[in-house]
Amino acid sequence: MMAALVLAVALPVAGAAQARDLWSWGSRGSDESTVAVADLPLQGQQTYRLILQGGPFPYDKDGSVFGNRERLLPRERRGYYREYTVETPRSRDRGARRIICGGRQPTAPEACWYTSDHYSSFRKIVQ
């Protein structure tokens, strides 16, 4: 109901194309919002390469289990998802950007998602 209200308010102001983007960002478990590896920020591209190489990672928490408590990613068993920091220039801490990958083998993930807003929204990473 709330998403429909936001969409209805956004349509006259933002236009149909932007409203579709708002809708896909707010949809739980939606695969409609994607980002190509080449379109990730440079730090995201670097983190993605490190994931496929198995590291080394700059932060101790990189590779730790991501619990998907927000339930924005597809439901999977605990331990399926792992999170990795995407460095944010000029940030004093790890920042808000992450890549979350799922799969049995960390260096060969079945799927990865990028978030620039600390788990409020995700975009599936595609080649």
Residue found by looking up tokens 């975009």 in the block? 123
Confidence of residue 32 (pLDDT cuts 50, 70, 90): low
Amino acid identity, position 114: Y
pLDDT tens string 41-63: 999 999 999 999 999 999 999 99
Same domain, 88 and 38: yes
Query: Catalytic residue at 110?
Result: no
Report how many domains make up the chain: 2
Q: Tokens representing 53?
A: 């190489």
Same domain, 17 and 73: no
Same domain, 13 and 39: no
Same domain, 66 and 110: yes
Same domain, 46 and 106: yes
From the candidates 32, 76, 110, 118, which is the catalytic residue? 118
Please state the pTM of the whole predicted model.
0.74
Q: Is the pLDDT of residue 116 over 90?
A: yes
Same domain, 91 and 113: yes
Express as a percent the part of the chain with pLDDT over 70. Answer: 75
Give the closest residue to 46 by CA, choosing from 57, 59, 31. Answer: 57
**C-beta separation of 61 from 83 below 8 A:** yes
- Domain of 19 in residue numbering reads as 1-31
pLDDT tens string 83-115: 999 999 999 999 999 999 999 999 999 999 999
Residue 88: CATH number of its domain? 3.10.450.30
Same domain, 18 and 68: no
Query: Catalytic residue at 83?
Result: yes
From the candidates 32, 70, 83, 87, which is the catalytic residue? 83
DSSP state of 56: -
Same domain, 27 and 79: no
- Report strand pairing: 98-102 vs 81-85: antiparallel
Report d(CA 11, CA 15) in Å as an integer: 5
